[in-house]
């Protein structure tokens, strides 16, 4: 029997769609073969605590709350040494051997401030599953970490003791650095509107907190600099030893690190990006927002603008494992590198650090932890 042409065309489309419409710009790209590497792996929360071994070493409590992922060597202070020797478990997945992923990454938490003046911590939800990586969608708390290199021999991996900071916790105004840290306002459940590269969507991405309610929650992206001075593992402000390319932060492409490094920081390093999904959906009731309609979210620093979003990084990959991954001949993609195995999500979720500062992190609070003195 001959089917009408229209039926045939529609049937053909239905078959083609799952490939033609993979649902995310990264999955629609032609990966593989080029030797470029885009590692993307989920990391569960290792602790939520008011300590910061990079900016406020030895202080417990430090000025504001952080959420931390990665290895279990995270502590009030962390000696500038090979962190991979100090940790023995990690909350991050990885294809080769999860026990090499002992770095720590941490950011400010997000809180909702209700109209009655009390605060509640906004929980995170696991990021979307891409590249068939089952681990990421099963993490408790935490966030996703990316490492990108344009190809074999193109980037120099961090050395033991390396650490850096991006963003400025005290900043409250736009610095035209949307490509450095941004917020994406999901327009529907299931990561609705997640089409453009991080921080590159003209409508859904903003440098500060979104000003309207986001039906699908809010995502943060924090992108670290990609050029290094080639000498210093750290610097007094934890920033000056690294830099963005001459033209400034480039859009995250997943395949390249665009832009030439300045002569002061001539060494290209892997691009590290953090991606955090905040479940703000339970806090979208306008009756609970400020009476003037302004947005109700705060970073744990007391920042209601979002311009003070920042990310800390302490390198802790074992031996030369990061360099090997960045130089993989075929290129590593998602959480698979060389076709080897990831740890089970249940194992990563169990890796944890005891919080050092005992205080309420999850109830309705009269003030943000550490901000009591500033509340009238």
Ligand X SMILES: *[C@@H]1O[C@H](CO)[C@@H](O)[C@H](O)[C@H]1NC(C)=O
**Cβ of residue 72: shortest distance to ligand X, in angstroms?**
7
Give the count of residues interacting with ligand X (CB under 6 A).
7
Q: Is residue 114 a contact residue for ligand X (CB under 6 A)?
A: yes
Q: Which is nearer to ligand X, 51 or 179 (CB)?
A: 51
**Cβ of residue 24: shortest distance to ligand X, in angstroms?**
34
Question: Taking contact as CB under 6 A, which single stretch among the options 16-24, 110-118, 142-150, 173-181 is the one that binds ligand X?
Answer: 110-118
> What is the spatial distance between Cα 307 and Cα 303, in angstroms, rounded to a whole number?
8
Phi first, then psi: what are they for 203, rounded to 5°?
-95, -45
First to last CA, the chain: 80
Per-residue contact track with ligand X, 341 to 360, x per CB under 6 A?
Answer: --------------------
Among 10, 364, 372, 375, binds ligand X (CB under 6 A): 364
Burial class for 65, CB neighbours closer than 10 Å (0-12, 13-18, 19+): buried
**HSE of 14 in the Cβ direction (CA atoms, 13 Å)?**
6
| 323 in Cβ contact with 179 (< 8 Å) | no
Q: Which is nearer to ligand X, 45 or 75 (CB)?
A: 75
- DSSP for 174-194? --S-TTTEEEEE-SSTTTTTT
| Positions in 194-253 near ligand X (CB under 6 A) | none
Among 56, 59, 99, 118, binds ligand X (CB under 6 A): 118
> What is the spatial distance between Cα 274 and Cα 159, in angstroms, rounded to a whole number?
20
| Positions in 255-294 near ligand X (CB under 6 A) | 288
**Cβ of residue 87: shortest distance to ligand X, in angstroms?**
9
**Cβ of residue 287: shortest distance to ligand X, in angstroms?**
8
Q: Which residues are at the interface with ligand X (CB under 6 A)? A: 75-76, 114, 116, 118, 288, 364
């Amino acid at each position: 029997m001959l089917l009408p042409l229209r039926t045939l065309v529609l049937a053909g489309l239905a078959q083609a769609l799952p490939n033609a419409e993979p649902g995310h710009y990264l999955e629609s790209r032609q990966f593989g073969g080029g030797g470029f590497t885009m590692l993307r792996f989920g990391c569960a929360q290792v602790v939520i605590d008011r300590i910061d071994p990079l900016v406020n070493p030895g202080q417990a409590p430090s000025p504001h709350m952080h959420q931390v992922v990665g290895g279990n060597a995270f502590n009030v202070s962390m000696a500038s040494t090979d962190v991979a020797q100090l940790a023995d478990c990690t909350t991050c997945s990885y294809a080769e051997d999860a026990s090499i992923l002992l770095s720590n990454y941490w950011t400010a938490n997000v809180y909702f401030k209700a109209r009655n003046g009390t605060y509640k911590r906004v929980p995170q939800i696991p990021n979307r599953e891409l590249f068939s990586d089952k681990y990421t969608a099963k993490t408790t708390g935490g966030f996703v970490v990316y490492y990108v290199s344009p190809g074999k021999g193109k980037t120099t991996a961090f050395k033991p003791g390396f650490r850096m900071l991006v963003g400025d916790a005290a900043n409250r105004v736009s610095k035209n650095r949307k490509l450095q840290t941004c917020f994406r306002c999901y327009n529907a459940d299931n990561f609705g509107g997640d089409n453009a590269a991080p921080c590159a969507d003209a409508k859904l991405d903003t440098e500060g907190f979104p000003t309207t309610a986001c039906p699908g929650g809010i995502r943060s992206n924090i992108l670290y600099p990609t050029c290094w001075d080639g000498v210093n593992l750290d610097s007094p402000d934890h920033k000056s030893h690294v830099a963005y390319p001459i033209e400034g932060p480039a859009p995250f492409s997943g395949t390249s690190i665009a832009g030439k490094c300045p002569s002061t920081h001539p060494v290209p390093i892997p691009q590290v990006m953090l991606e955090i999904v905040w479940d703000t959906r339970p806090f979208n009731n306008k009756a609970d927002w400020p009476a003037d309609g302004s947005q109700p979210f705060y970073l744990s620093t007391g920042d209601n603008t979002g311009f003070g979003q920042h990310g800390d990084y302490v390198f802790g990959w074992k031996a030369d494992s990061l360099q090997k991954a960045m130089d993989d001949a075929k290129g590593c993609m998602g959480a698979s590198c060389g076709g080897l195995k990831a740890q089970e999500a249940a194992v990563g979720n169990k890796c944890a650090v005891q919080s050092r500062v005992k205080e309420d992190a999850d109830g309705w609070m009269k003030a943000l932890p550490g901000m009591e003195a500033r509340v009238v």
